[in-house]
Structure formats: C-alpha cells, structure tokens
Amino acid sequence: MTFYPLMSLVFRFLLFVSFLVLIIACYTSGREIKIQTPLDRLSQGNEYFMKSTSKDQILNLKKGQFPYAVVVACSDSRVSPELIFHEDLGSLFVVRTAGNIIGEYEMGSIEYAIENFHSSLIVVLGHEDCGAVSAYLSNSDKKLNGNIQEIVDYIKEEEEEKSLPDTLSYEILLPMAIKANVLHGIHEVHKSEIIKSSLADKKLTIVGAIYHLVDGHVEFIIE
Ligand SMILES: [Zn+2]
C-alpha cells in the first residue's frame, strides 16, 4: 500500500471515531440534562446560604433573637423586608400577609415580638401597586375564589378606606387606598393592650411606610 491511500484510510478512521465520540457525547449529555425544579432551586439556594454565611453568625442566633423592629408587610414577592432594608438574620421580626392586613394571628405575632424581644419599632409596610388593595378597588359582586375574598372583605371594612372619595379614577384612587390601608394597620396596632403599655413606657414607636416599586425607595409615614 502506498503512502497516500494509507493516509486516506487513517483520515477516514479518525473521522469515524470523531463522529462516534460526538454521537456518544450527545446521547450521554442528553441523558444527564436535569430540569431544575423549584424545590431543587430552593435546596441549592440553601446550600449556597450555608456555604456563604458565617457558621458563627448562624450559631450565635441559636442562642436567641433580638429583632429591633417588627415589620408588618405584604406577602408580595417584590417587597421582602430583609432585602429592602438591607438587614440580616435576627434583625427584623416580620409578619406578612397579602395586603399587610392585621387580623388576630398577625396581631398576636406582633405582640409576641414586643413582649418577648422588646422590639422598639413597628413598621406597617404597604407598597405601590398592591394586588390586594387593587383587588378591593376592582371587586365586583362576583366572589373571589377560596379565602381570597376574605382579604378583600377585610380591606372593604376599613374605615380609612370608606372615608376616601369614590368619584376618583382607579389610577388616582389606588395609591390613596394603599396609604389608607397602611394607616388602618397603624390604627389597629394601637388597639392592642400590650402595644399600648409599651407606648406608655415610651419604649415603642409605630410608623407606616410605602415601598415604591419604581425605584426601591421606602417612604415613611409618621402620624
Ligand atoms: Zn401587596
């Protein structure tokens, strides 16, 4: 066999092997592709949290918590108090419901923090474009599914909402209704005997706040 036919044979062999490797690679990589589920994402996030957070910091919080503020916030995923106030674990006692409404369980949670951790500040935090307040303004005679209607009905009963003019357009009324809902929260918190006692001892301040989605600014409302 001459040199050139031999080279041609080797070249064809190498081409075949490369093709075979490519097929195997595609097949095996295809089999290894795993779609990340929401639970996978949480689990990986927690692994990262454990790796990136000081072990001492975590262990130190096992001894107890001393949150300096209670934040009553909406459950909206864009308004996480620890993130928007740039706070760490153990600093904020957070109570969240859609529409930052305060029923018995929420009030009990706030009182628990004031009584046990002596937090010196309560913030009732609403936010721009709140879906719960928007649902209240848009609510017709048709009932919302499940317990969602309960949230709308709660807001509907607020005196602060009832005092708003009903002649305004939805766009103008929404921010006013969001503020009225925050004011209602402040007024509700003042009804608690535990809170009254802390206020009398001048150990507590209560403020409202609105988080602006457009730029991340928190506007405090001090009555
Ligand atoms: Zn909301």
pLDDT at 136: 96
Q: Distance, CA 175 to ligand 1 centroid (Å)?
A: 12
- Global pTM reads 0.84
Residue of higher predicted confidence among 192 and 4: 192
pLDDT at residue 133 tops 70: yes
Query: What architecture is domain 65-221?
Result: 3-Layer(aba) Sandwich (3.40)
Domain boundaries, the chain: 65-221
The fraction of the chain above a pLDDT of 70, given in percent, is 86
Q: Distance, CA 22 to ligand 1 centroid (Å)?
A: 52
Q: Distance, CA 166 to ligand 1 centroid (Å)?
A: 21
Average confidence score pLDDT of the chain: 91
pLDDT at residue 164 tops 90: yes
Q: Distance, CA 174 to ligand 1 centroid (Å)?
A: 12
Q: Distance, CA 105 to ligand 1 centroid (Å)?
A: 18
Q: Distance, CA 216 to ligand 1 centroid (Å)?
A: 14
Q: Distance, CA 158 to ligand 1 centroid (Å)?
A: 16
Per-residue pLDDT averaged across 66-91, rounded?
A: 98
Q: Distance, CA 23 to ligand 1 centroid (Å)?
A: 52
pLDDT at 147: 94
pLDDT tens profile 6-22: 556 655 666 565 655 55
How is the chain classified by DSSP, letter by letter?
--HHHHHHHHHHHHHHHHHHHHHHHHHHHHHH--PPPHHHHHHHHHHHHHHHS-HHHHHHHHT----SEEEEEE--TT--HHHHTT--TTTEEEEEEGGG---HHHHHHHHHHHHHH---EEEEEEETT-HHHHHHHH--SSPPSTTHHHHHHHHHT-HHHHTS-SSS-HHHHHHHHHHHHHHHHHHHHHT-HHHHHHHHTT--EEEEEEE-TTT-PEEEE--
Q: Distance, CA 6 to ligand 1 centroid (Å)?
A: 75
Least confident of 31-35, 45-49, 139-143: 31-35
